[in-house]
Each structure stands twice: as C-alpha cells, then as structure tokens.
C-alpha cells in the first residue's frame, strides 16, 4: 500500500503546489478524514519538494537561463531601466526575501499555531473569497514585462503569508498579482517564477535535515522514487495547462472549489464530534 500512497501523494503535491487550492487543505481531507496514511517522514517530504522543483526547472528552463544571464550582465553593466530581463531578474530576487525571512524565523511557530483543521478550512474559504474579488474586479491590463518594483515586492510579501496552512502560495501570489493589474496568465507566471528560489530553499533545508537526522533504508527507495516521479510529471503538466487555461478562462472554478472544500472540512469536523 505504501506504493499507492506514494503515487497519490506525488499527484496531490504536483497539483496543489501550483493550482490556487492549497496543498494543506487536501492533505487534511486525505489524511485525517479518508485515513490515507502517507509516509510521514522527512525523506518523503524531501522527494516531493524536489519533484515540484524539477517540474518548475524543466518548464521554465529557458526563462531561468534568460534571467540568470541578465542578472550577471547587470553586475557588469547596470541597465535595469532599459533591459526588462535584468529588471525582472532583480525583482524576482528581491521579492524572494520576505518569504525566505518569514520561513526562516517563523515557519515552526506558524505551523504549530495554525496547523488546526478548522483554521485550514477557514483559510480555504477566506482566500477563496479574496481570489474571487481579485479576479472579478481587477483591471488585468499588464503583462509580466510591465511589472514594477513595488508590485513585485508586494507579491513577494504575499508569498510570505502562504506559510499559513490553507492559504495556498500560488493562490495568494496570484491574488496579489491581480491587484497590481497583471493579467491572469502573467500573475500566475510571475508566481511560479517567484516560487523557484523558495521551493529550492525549502528543498535544500529538508535535504540538510534529512542527512543530519536519519538515513534512508533500501526498502524505501522504490516508494520515494515513485513519489518523486509522480510529483514531477503531474507538476509539469499542471503548470503547462494551468497557464494555458488562464489565457481564456477566469479563476471561478478554483474559487468554488476552495469554498466547497472548506465547507466539506467543516462538515466532516462537525460529523466527527
């Protein structure tokens, strides 16, 4: 059964890391209520994070090279005013700091305080309503190339809020992007690009924790590989088709989904009393 749970966990991670629906909300339903006993160890957490990181790197490989090249060019010849790639490279770097700082200092405290099923359900609904308002009333007239420094920093601050379970990192950053007049596809694209340093940092930290706290048994290798592969494959196609979806569709389906899931969790909590 560990193999089945591994594949399911990889699929859930690959989808919910990028869709604005909250991975923690889904893990609550699958683990607490449906009794899906995921392999709850550090090694499995590491491979799932590395899987979503690989999906991001594979999909955005050309963008990563472009912005890295622009960043190093800016060190030799500063031209942010006229070079949009240099500008975005620095925006992504600077906008990463709020979430990195918040994660380093407050992640454990936030996890301890907010890791309550009822609060996860509440965040699903609250952020769902915010997603509706941002999608319904924002101007959506700018592309990612027109992003300003203040707007990118605001999106970075929003990413820090995603430490609260039930919020959704992609959800809250897309909301922030929409409030800054980005169109849906550009808001999601910047959200994903902004997530790369954070996902990399979180994965690196977990790898360090893994090597300093436990070893991996040979019997776990197949399970870990399957979780990793399912996370990579599902994550890659999720990014691809979500960005394509946003070119011609609203975010309403995710709004309804979040609210329904939040209400479902509240209902299950009530029935479980």
Q: What are the pLDDT digits (tens) for 140-182?
A: 999 999 999 999 999 999 999 998 989 999 999 999 999 999 9
- Full domain range(s) for residue 138: 2-271
Range name among 21-25, 66-70, 190-194, 235-239 with the lowest pLDDT average = 21-25
pLDDT tens digits, residue range 237-261?
A: 999 999 999 999 999 999 999 999 9
In a 3-state reduction of DSSP, which class is residue 182? strand
* pTM tops 0.85: yes
Distance CA 119, CA 265 (A): 10
Asked whether the predicted pLDDT for residue 272 surpasses 60, the reply is yes
Bridge partners for 142 per DSSP: 182
Predicted pLDDT at 2? 75
Residue from 71, 75, 64, 172 nearest 126 by CA: 172
pLDDT tens digits, residue range 205-247?
A: 777 776 666 666 666 778 888 989 999 999 999 999 999 999 9
Given a contact cutoff of 8 angstroms between Cβ atoms, the answer to whether 120 and 135 are in contact is no
Which two structure tokens, joined as six digits, stand for 61? 């490989």
Q: What are phi and psi of 182, to 5 degrees?
A: -70, 145
Predicted pLDDT at 4? 83
In a 3-state reduction of DSSP, which class is residue 142? strand
Number of domains present in the structure of the chain:
1
């Amino acid at each position: 059964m560990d193999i089945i749970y591994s594949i399911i966990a990889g699929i859930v991670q690959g989808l919910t890391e990028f869709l604005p629906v909250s991975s923690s909300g889904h893990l609550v339903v699958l683990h607490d209520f449906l009794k899906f006993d995921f392999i709850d160890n550090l090694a499995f957490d590491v491979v799932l994070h590395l899987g979503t990181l690989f999906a991001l790197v594979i999909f955005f490989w050309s963008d990563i090279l472009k912005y890295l090249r622009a960043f190093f060019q800016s060190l030799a010849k500063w031209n942010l005013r006229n070079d949009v790639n240099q500008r975005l490279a620095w925006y992504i770097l600077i906008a990463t700091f709020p979430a990195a700082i918040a994660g380093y200092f407050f992640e454990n405290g936030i996890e301890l305080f907010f890791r309550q099923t009822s609060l996860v359900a509440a965040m699903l609904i609250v952020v769902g309503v915010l997603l509706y308002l941002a999608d319904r009333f924002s101007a959506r007239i700018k592309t990612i190339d027109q992003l300003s420094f203040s707007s990118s920093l605001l999106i970075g601050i929003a990413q820090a809020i995603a430490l609260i379970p039930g919020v959704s990192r992609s959800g809250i950053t897309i909301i922030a992007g929409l409030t800054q007049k980005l169109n849906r596809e550009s808001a999601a694209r910047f959200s994903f690009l902004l997530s790369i340093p954070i996902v990399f940092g979180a994965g690196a930290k977990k790898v360090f924790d893994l090597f300093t706290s436990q070893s991996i048994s040979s019997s776990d290798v197949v399970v870990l590989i399957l979780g990793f592969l399912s996370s990579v494959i599902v994550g890659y196609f999720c990014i691809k088709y979500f960005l394509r979806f946003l070119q011609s569709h609203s975010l309403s389906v995710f709004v309804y989904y979040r609210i329904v899931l939040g209400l479902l969790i509240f209902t299950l909590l009530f029935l479980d009393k």
